[in-house]
Structure 1
């Protein structure tokens, strides 16, 4: 039976950010992580007005890694390590916060006049407890360096981990799988049980999994050990994510993730006291610590 394929169906909380929508499926009230994925956002698709763009001012992170992956448009990343990198569709930006990093994300200046596109997925990965305080790093892997699997009306780009016999060069801090799957009309692709925890997400189009219809913008958590096949009648864009379970609970407050609540409290004070490093050439403004204190959430 199709329902035997799934552990959970996680419907998104959607936010209109003025010009584009964000659909968030992790964290969710019914489940907070899939493998190391502790945050899963779909941005857009959107066409912003001419002269405008996204401007996410400098803000901090600790004890996590962010993964930015675009379907359309471009984002300029800057961080306190001195990195300045434009990411475009099919490439990967992996920013490992470790003991602490500050970054900003903005539409490139050269794209604003025509009205930039924005479409993609941004995720956070919780770091293993023994790697939470590693030195911060940044890794950009271009589109052409990611393995591409093709066949049966399907193309799959391995964003992280090992899938279909191919391994991505993107760093893994713990066992992780992440793939971008494009299904042509009538296309299909098998999903083998290569990770303890897995989920599929239809970003666009129509897809089924062994006959079960998958709705767009919903994260479907698969049962362990399941082998199943993705299919599409009219074409679809699907993301596969997952990996090994976390090695213990995590606490989340604003942009901070940690296995220790006291570490999050220290990060709050460090940001309030301006002890985090600045982003070169983008240090004139920053996102302040929230005035209305968000609840600290503990994730098992």
Structure 2
């Protein structure tokens, strides 16, 4: 039996992995690997599971506790752009199965538990702006979640959330999948706060907490868009007011555009310094990396914080209601 992630989150800092897309690109998959659907990384779960597994192995090899499945785009809006929206479940299940195999293989070597976080990305359509209706979005997220559960995920991670209505569709879809399969896994939500200080549609972190915590999620946190410096005040708010565990997975700084594309400037030591400070001051139970982070970044984070006791936060709930924009 795999130890419960909820028990781990309650007592110690758990370390997740870093970026997936850049690692897959570095393996230089062919157009045939992509089935001529260039950029659809989730197809590699079917055509090149060896490449996907190698990314998971690279992160497990530096000591992380969890890896995220290669399913960030296994949702209705993203797959519809390639005309394969009917494969939401198939690609989700395959991605979870690959990650599960990698986790179990590493555990078999040394006995240390490893976990799989089922990645549920936001897609490319915002229901609040009328890009897509709520019901089909929710139903597709349910398929996404069911595939991840049946493939062996230990938790569901709704990440890079930009629209609170889209996030609610993912939470409700995930909850329906858990009920349908008959399991009880942790449900984690990470919102993305832009350099403007709000989510893409203008929601501040207080609005996100007020809207999402009552949905019965197990953890709330931040990922993507910025580096740790820009996340600090938003994480402080969650630390002070969230009654559930919190997480943080920043980019390796703000991207710098170069002739070779985007470059993320934070070194492994700089990112680990920031995560160590977050653990000491704000008490996240789950830390990791997002865009621009590599196994080298995660190795230093593991050395600094993995297994550290979670800060004894004393959150003060702020009763209230939320609009789209503010608590």
Higher helix share: 2
Fold conserved between structures, TM > 0.5: no
Higher strand share: 1
Q: TM-score range by the shorter chain?
A: 0.3 to 0.5
Q: State TM-score, norm by structure 2.
A: 0.31
Q: State TM-score, norm by structure 1.
A: 0.33
